[in-house]
Amino acid sequence: MTDMKRRPLVLANWKMNMTPSQVLPYLDQVIPEVEKDTGADVAIAAQDLYLAQMVKATTNTRLAIAAENAHWTDEGAYTGETSPKALAEIGVSYVLIGHFERRKLFNETDGRVNLKTKAALKNGLKVIVDLDEDMSTYDTVNPNTVVLAQLRAALAGISAEELDQVAIAYEPTWAIGSGEAASATAAQKAAVLIRQSLKNLYSSGVAEKIRILYGGSVTTKNAAAFLSQNDIDGVLVGKAALDPKQFLELIDIAQATH
């Protein structure tokens, strides 16, 4: 439980999964259940080619749609990229920026993460900034002096007011897709470092409002342990969220633990 009762966010990241024929049947199962409850925010991130279809199917529902990436400019000669302006125009709500797979497989730098975050915010998108920084390097450091390097870079030039539209997701690189999640204690320790870094960069008031998500092999078996931690306000779910029944169970868990 959190002092400010930050509303939990359960975010499915389909990655490059699902086929066109699977999208609407999945949503048909999820939307009615999401509509019954108001205890958590729920979103699904999908491939670009599904987004317009998904936004249309979820209009006037509680289920939000997210993009998995966006470019740092609104338009131009960037073949294969996706405009944040276009995403906003079709009704996408969230965008993931700086996911570990983008950093590792597509050489996304901290500087690019910052540019993309600014562009998304400028277009009215809510941003989930992903961090995979090694928190173990701060074991012997006074938390009151810590500012995580990836966090500082991602938020450079972003105002406290703009941070109202930002959430932070922590995904230890070794846990993503491995089937082995971090312990809830380790995840909470990382979340504390993230929140303390936000305090050091901005203020306590700003830091206490920001949602921090854990991602990396989240399942229906371990989600409650993560979500019951004081500084973890949601989960970013990959493989488990490909099954609508498991995704709905994760949403129930989030509502029960906050």
71 included as an active-site residue:
no
Q: Within 13 A of 139's CA, how many CA atoms are on the CB side?
A: 4
Say how far apart CA 60 and CA 56 lie, in whole Å: 9
Of 68, 108, 133, 171, the active-site residue reads 171
How many angstroms separate the CA atoms of 198 and 59, rounded? 34
Question: Of residues 99, 101, 133, 258, which has the active-site annotation?
Answer: 99
Helix (H, G, I), strand (E, B) or coil at 237: strand
If you ran DSSP here, which 8-state letter would residue 242 be given? G
Please say if 99 is a catalytic residue: yes
By annotation, the residues acting in catalysis are 99, 171
